[in-house]
Structure 1
């Protein structure tokens, strides 16, 4: 028996959040044999009614844990959720996003591989969020290969099942406010030859609301990422 913490960051997702809970809560219920699994959704300082909706849904869903924090961005919010899972002694962490782009029906093949691998990570071979996002991912993977010698086709997919002990092993290597932690977790896992498997997933267009990341922000994050990559490379 293994406890599962599904970690989902949320920012201004009032258009999506109830649907997200309806989709992922049954997954936690299904894998709650010891009564210790949780759906952890972290409100990242939303300016809409995301957190109020989370609280409303939690009133009738005991496995739903709504957390609230000041706005810090997607990456720091993911790390916040990972630390919460570590502190609460989860056996496994699964991370996805709150915008409805991922499919909970594809979770079971990931869960079924947990005995063979320490991390099972999604690969978005076809992306519903546009060619520009695919281009950015291709650039990221090129940089990872050039800087770290790590070859992956998708480093940042928000669909990943990881042993909590594995996350705890590497989380201390990253700054608390690191913007792109999943990219570095993927990099560490492959570089240090952890037991990791990649599985194709579907990736739909955003199901509602507005994406808070625009081209200007992507360029800014990307430029900082290059500097961070070289800094982290020295610490390998």
Structure 2
């Protein structure tokens, strides 16, 4: 019998997209042969809009943080409440493409991988200059020897055993980098797969460059901490 799947969605001010994302996952739940997708958990991270209300009809559980605690704390709260052996982390803004998550989980259901990372299609509009991604790729390789092409992707399927074996999740934009380093250094098997998700993209404007600047700082801090305090 295939193991069951819990999907964790951290959300902060995602009222515009969260219900569409969850409806798409319900379509996946109804898909023939995938009846085991039986738990959708939303962690409302202190949203100031109607995220909670928009998620309520579609989520099996909603955890409401009293204030904005960050993505790491939200994912931590979500997976620790999950009842199933496979946990999937998804962003709230995937909309109708969330249905494609079955592609992300297949390598784990087949029994030979412990964590699967989604590779997105090429961005539809020009973003940054790749500095954050290059930093993450080189840092991950230096600290654990894994060659990645999607170091910043937050769409991941994992065995709960992996999450129980690594330290608490890093916060900020470095969370995915830290999780990859810890998983490889703990001996877990990981891979990347192409999944044609669509989500909100940042452009070459002030907001986009500010976002990528925060990413660069956060990833740098995570790499430093993983270098200073490696897991073994």
The alignment's TM-score, normalised by the length of structure 1, stands at: 0.79
Where 1:132 maps in the other structure, the secondary structure is coil
Counterpart in the other structure of 1:79: 76
Counterpart in the other structure of 2:54: 53
* Structure-2 separation of matches of 1:4 and 1:99: 20
CA contact (8 A) 1:110 1:161 kept: yes
CA contact (8 A) 1:6 1:39 kept: yes
1:89-168 alignment, distance < 5 Å? 90-100=84-94, 103-113=97-107, 114=109, 115-124=111-120, 126-128=122-124, 130-132=126-128, 134-168=130-164
In structure 2, relative to structure 1, the CA distance for the partners of 1:74 and 1:133 (3 Å cut) is farther
How many residues matched?
A: 219
How far off its partner does 1:154 sit? 1.5
Where 1:24 maps in the other structure, the secondary structure is helix
Counterpart in the other structure of 2:204: none
CA contact (8 A) 1:128 1:203 kept: no
In structure 2, relative to structure 1, the CA distance for the partners of 1:215 and 1:227 (3 Å cut) is same
In structure 2, relative to structure 1, the CA distance for the partners of 1:7 and 1:201 (3 Å cut) is same
CA contact (8 A) 2:140 2:180 kept: no
How far off its partner does 1:109 sit? 3.0
Counterpart selection for 2:171 from 169, 172, 178: 178
In structure 2, relative to structure 1, the CA distance for the partners of 1:97 and 1:134 (3 Å cut) is farther
Write out per-residue CA displacement over residues 74-122 of structure 1, whole angstroms, 9 at most, x where no aligned residue.
Answer: 222122212222xx3x111011100127833432233332222222221
Q: CA RMSD in A?
A: 2.8
1:10 lines up with 2:47 in the alignment: no
Show structure 2 runs of 5+ residues with no match. Answer: 202-206
* Structure-1 separation of matches of 2:228 and 2:79: 23
Show structure 1 runs of 5+ residues with no match. Answer: none
CA contact (8 A) 1:123 1:199 kept: yes
How far off its partner does 1:132 sit? 1.8
CA contact (8 A) 1:43 1:67 kept: yes
Counterpart selection for 1:224 from 221, 224, 227: 221
How far off its partner does 1:3 sit? 1.7
Write out per-residue CA displacement over residues 114-147 of structure 1, whole angstroms, 9 at most, x where no aligned residue.
Answer: 2222222212362347432844222211112223
CA contact (8 A) 1:5 1:93 kept: yes
Where 1:43 maps in the other structure, the secondary structure is strand
* Structure-2 separation of matches of 1:68 and 1:133: 36
* Structure-2 separation of matches of 1:183 and 1:102: 26
